[in-house]
Amino acid sequence: MKTNQFLSALAAVALAVTVNAVEKPKMNVIPLSDENALIAVANENPAYFELSIQAENGDLVYYKESASEISDLRQLINYSNLENGNYTLKAKVKDTYVLRDFEISNKGMVVGEAKMKYSPYFDFNSGVLKLSYLNFDEENVKFKIYNQGELVYENKLGKDFVISAGFDLSQLEKGKYEVELSSYKNQFLYNIEN
């Protein structure tokens, strides 16, 4: 029992250290007119930025990435060509995402609150894969391993806010594998070589 409590405490500390080591960008969206909005993303440290807008049906309607490491990105977008509906604006800085849902209607743009998300942490060493993930959406998370596109292993990790797991993969045949951690709204891939 004490061993389980110690391992749980150790996992919580490792997760806290991981979260404190990630970027914490801020994103503002300011509608300027019936057709234009200013997107401003700021980060404490210079990094590569990715900015995208995705329609509710999953179509990517806008994408831009910085050519060099920057700490501030300001982008004027013209949304007059977007159909009325719901969209998600996503800014990615390293393994951190800031998302803002917005709606386009005949009345203009209505912007929702910012949500911060983090990519999962993966570590593969000596045949053991460790992962931790903050499941902000509290969705059912699945873990899968593929070898050349063929499913080798699948496991349901649950829908807890904090997900951490370890897998002994030392018995897998030598080769390259793709690990997938996914839920309804998210998919993360990690490559390993055993």
Helical ranges in the chain per DSSP H: 2-20
Which of 53, 84, 117 is where one domain is finished? 117
Q: Is the pLDDT of residue 16 over 90?
A: no
CATH number at residue 166: 2.60.40.10
**Torsion-angle region of 127 (φ positive above 0: left; ψ -120 to 50: alpha; else: beta):** left
CB distance 99 to 88 below 8 Å:
yes
For residue 74, being part of any structural domain is answered with yes
Taking phi over 0 as left and psi of -120 to 50 as alpha, with beta for the rest, 7 belongs to alpha
Do 30 and 100 share a domain, yes or no? yes
The model's confidence at residue 6, banded by pLDDT at 50, 70 and 90, is very low
**Nearest C-alpha neighbor of 121 from the set 42, 36, 50, 17:** 17
Claim to verify: residue 127 and residue 87 sit in the same structural domain: no
What pTM was estimated for this model as a whole?
0.70
Angle at 130 between CA 94 and CA 3, to 5 degrees: 130
Structural domain containing residue 41: 26-117
Q: What is the pLDDT of residue 61?
A: 95
- Total count of domains within the chain: 2
Shared-domain flag, residues 42 and 106: yes
Tokens standing for residue 61: 């309607």
Same domain, 85 and 162: no
- Answer yes or no: are the C-beta atoms of 173 and 194 closer than 8 Å: yes
What is the distance between the alpha carbons of residues 51 and 78, in angstroms, rounded to a whole number? 14
Has residue 17 been placed in a domain? no
For residue range 60-71, what is the model confidence (pLDDT) as tens digits?
999 999 999 999
| Per-residue model confidence as pLDDT tens digits over 80-116 | 889 999 999 999 999 899 999 999 998 889 999 999 9
